[in-house]
Amino acid sequence: MRIELNGAPTELADDTTLVGLIEDRLGGTRGAAVVVDGSVVPRSAWPQFRVADGQRVELITAVQGG
Site of interaction with other proteins (CB under 8 A): 6-7, 25-26, 30-35, 38-43, 58-66
- CB atoms near residue 59 (< 10 Å): 15
In whole angstroms, the minimum distance from the beta carbon of 9 to other proteins comes to 15
Question: Least distance (Å) from other proteins to the CB of residue 11?
Answer: 15
Contact assessment for residue 18 and residue 46, using Cβ atoms and an 8 Å cutoff: yes
Residue 25 or 50 having the CB closest to other proteins: 25
CB of 38 to other proteins, least distance (A): 5
For residues 11 and 57, is the Cβ–Cβ distance under 8 A? no
